[in-house]
Chains A and B, each alone.
Chain A
Amino acid sequence: MTELLAERGHVFALTGAALIALGFYGFMAQRAVIRRLISFNVIGSGVFLLFGGTGYSAAGVDPVPQALIITGIVVALALTAFAAALAVRLAQGGDRDDGTDDGEAGP
């Protein structure tokens, strides 16, 4: 274990693993959608930290993981934005709209 911790990248990679576990717990145990979204993002950043930590060497972090992580952060944001909007809309407007739907227009 001390040998593992001696390398800087490993410290962050293992922290990433712990974050994944923490987030997993939150995602499974919690019911509130906002909390599950927080958990989703905690897992996500844990995965990224693991990615960066394992890609770390004396020359710094491998640029390919860096680029993929930036992409991943943006994708996670897009998912979070839609999931949050969807959950709020469900809370405010119910399962579906009655009367205002354009279902009458066709099958």
Chain B
Amino acid sequence: MSLAFDLALCAFILGAAALAVAGRNLFGSVVFYIVYGVLIALAWLSLGAVDVALAEAAIGAGVTGVLLIGAWQGMKEAGALEDSQAPPWPVRLWAALGAALTGGLVITAIIALPGQDGLTRTVADEQGALALGNPVTAVLLGFRAYDTLLETLVLSAALAAVWSLSPERVWGGIPGPKHVSRPDGVMASFGRLLPPLGLLVGVYLVWAGADQPGGAFQAGTVLAAVWILIVLSGLRDEPRVSSLPLRAVIIAGPAVFLGAGLAGALAGQALGYPPGYARTAILIIEYALTVSIAATLALLIAGPARRLS
């Protein structure tokens, strides 16, 4: 049963990927990519990696999908949607040969892999020192906190990079198109109903993340979705990129994280937590990160500044 399910799932994944990569209609490709992302999340569930499944569904399928739809819209507005005809055959041939070679190499490498135990046991042995029940959170914010620190700064840098694309004449203005909706329409009423629920889910995900699947990145994505919902339903517009409170929210999480790391360095152990307070410190960092990640993701989706009012 289980193997049959896995094989069917993998077949669907490959089919969705093929349609996303080589489908004729570009918008269709984007839609299939989102379907593909959801299927990949299912694959992670099947492997029992719930944290990754949540991250893949929320970020890999959700946010990336929204981004790609936004890019499609932007290309359409610019009249730059590339034609959907297939590439010429020599290109396809070379690409297919390269793909076959790469795939063959990777499969050879997989087959030649010696069995090794990985670090499951080591993590289980050591995570007690951080007083965390979720081993993935223990790795993300404990053992390999430096990766996570750099990664949050990659997000901040990406936002600066996206903002750098703003046309100068609208700098300081508002990103994304303006959304309006009838005050008594479906959008507005749903837009009022869903955010409190989303907020609840988001806070729950960080809170649970210490011991169960979840964490700052998954929660931040949910909160970003709430933000986007509010904007889409026309209840509030995006903030100006020049807004100081907004910028403070963006840097708060990484600043707390980096500050904790540097404070540790002054105390003798960079990115180390004081014994006995590791869990508290990690939870504080996670809450701060969640808020910043939510704002950063929402603004990455909104894109460069586009209008002054």
B95 touches A28 (CB 8 A): yes
Given contacts A54-B110, A86-B165, contact A19 B13 (CB under 8 A): yes
Find out whether the CB atom of A88 lies under 8 angstroms from the CB atom of B75.
yes
With known contacts A21-B103, A84-B71, A79–B158 Cβ distance under 8 A: yes
In the docked arrangement, what's the CA distance between A69 and B118, Å?
Answer: 15
- Stretch from B41-49, B193-201, B236-244 at the A interface: B41-49
CB < 8 Å neighbour of A65 from B75, B77, B81, B118: B118
- Interface presence of B1 (CB below 8 A): no
Residue among A19, A66, A69 with the most chain B CB within 10 A? A66
Shortest Cβ distance from A6 into chain B, in angstroms? Answer: 8
Picked from A64, A73, A92, the residue with its CB within 8 Å of the CB of B123 is A64
Could you tell me if A12 and B47 are in contact, using CB atoms closer than 8 angstroms? yes
B39 and chain A: residue at smallest CB distance: A45
B67 contacts chain A at the CB level, 8 A cutoff:
yes
Known contacts A35-B29, A38-B68, A63-B138; A70/B51 CB under 8 A: yes
Query: A17 and B110: CB pair below 8 A?
Result: yes
Is there contact, CB below 8 Å, between A42 and B17? yes
Count CB-based A-B contacts (< 8 Å). Answer: 269
Interface size on B, residues (CB 8 A): 94
User: How far apart are the CA atoms of A54 and B82 in the complex, in Å?
Assistant: 38
Contacts A57-B117, A62-B119, A66-B49 hold; do A82 and B158 have CB atoms under 8 A apart? Answer: yes
Closest A residue by C-beta to B154: A78
* The residue from B56, B120, B140, B217 contacting A60, defined by CB atoms under 8 A apart: B120
State the majority secondary structure of interface residues on A.
helix
Whether B110 pairs with A22 at a CB distance below 8 angstroms is no
A81 near B119: Cβ-Cβ < 8 Å: no
Question: Which residues of B from 145 to 167 have beta carbons under 8 Å from A?
Answer: 147-148, 151, 154-155, 157-158, 161-162, 165, 167
CB proximity of A104 to chain B, nearest CB, Å: 12
In A70-107, the 8 Å CB interface with B consists of 70-71, 73-82, 84-89, 91-93, 97, 100-102
In the complex, are the beta carbons of B52 and A8 less than 8 A apart? no
- The answer to whether B51 touches A66 (Cβ under 8 A) is yes
Closest chain B CB from A91 CB (angstroms)? 4
Given A65-B118, A74-B151, verify A8-B3 contact (CB < 8 Å): yes
| Contact yes or no, A45 B60, CB < 8 A | yes
Is there a chain A Cβ closer than 8 Å to B267's Cβ?
Answer: no
Pick the residue among A15, A32, A53, A61 that contacts B82 (CB under 8 A).
A32
Q: How distant is the Cα of A12 from the Cα of B10 in the complex, in angstroms?
A: 7
A residues near B (Cβ < 8 Å) are 4-6, 8-15, 17-26, 28-35, 37-39, 41-42, 45, 48-50, 52-57, 59-71, 73-82, 84-89, 91-93, 97, 100-102
